[in-house]
Amino acid sequence: MNPMTGPLLPASCLDFMRDLKSNNAREWFAQNKEAYQTELGFVEAFADALLNNISTHDIIETPTGKKSLHRIYRDTRFSKDKTPFKTNWSGGFRRATKYRRGGYYYHFEPGNSFVLGGFWGPNPLDLKRIRDDIAFDATPLRDILSSVTFIDTFGKLLQGEQLKTSPKGYDPAHEAIDLLRYKQFLIMRRFSDQEVLSDNFFLEVCQAFRNMRPFFDYMSEVLTADVNGLAV
């Protein structure tokens, strides 16, 4: 670890996933289990350092970096894709208590690395609360999305599935219909393979997670308080 930049992900972490994608079978994985454990150790150390950094500005209930990692084994029971292993390193950190909504997610894969935060599948009640707040006044959310920091980090748009038409109960001509159509509310920062393997990658990921806070704080307030500011 470089004390000035934090831990590094070696090229071998991405190389292993390239090899696994080309040899996605239990026999190959068993023969290369020792190599997998070595690379997993690098990713766990990286995740531990991420957790320590996030904990300087947020409260996280995920206890360790190791606990944040997703299993490499795929659940193929209901999938047409029967390959047994994921071909990425991924995991997430859950914010603590019901008053801190949202979570931090990381995904490292050759040609498809990113960090993401937000709300992947809000339940109907949460989705209605978000939409009602946007319909009442979209300015707070638009201010976050249009800030220089947000655009520099995540781009100009939210990510996530959207309805093709207006949601039921909301005016199709509403000035915030572009936001009301969202079914998911996600913000993402993508990284090239070169960036993932750079000396500054850890710091860039930490900064991206830190820059999610205004979005999380807005959503947490919307989802945990009524129109009068009382806890729900």
- CA 67 to CA 71: how far, in whole Å? 10
3 state SS of 105:
strand
- pLDDT the model gives residue 40: 98
CATH topology of domain 11-224: BirA Bifunctional Protein; domain 2 (3.30.930)
- pLDDT the model gives residue 231: 57
- CA 40 to CA 43: how far, in whole Å? 5
CB 205 within 8 Å of CB 219: no
pLDDT tens for the chain, 232 residues long, are 655 568 999 999 999 999 999 999 999 999 999 999 999 999 999 999 999 999 999 999 999 999 999 999 998 888 888 899 999 999 999 998 888 888 999 999 999 999 999 888 889 999 999 999 999 999 999 999 999 999 999 987 788 899 999 999 999 999 999 999 999 999 999 999 999 999 999 999 999 999 999 999 999 999 986 555 555 6
- pLDDT the model gives residue 134: 95
Enumerate residues 6+ apart whose C-beta is below 8 A from 219: 101, 102, 118, 119, 130, 185
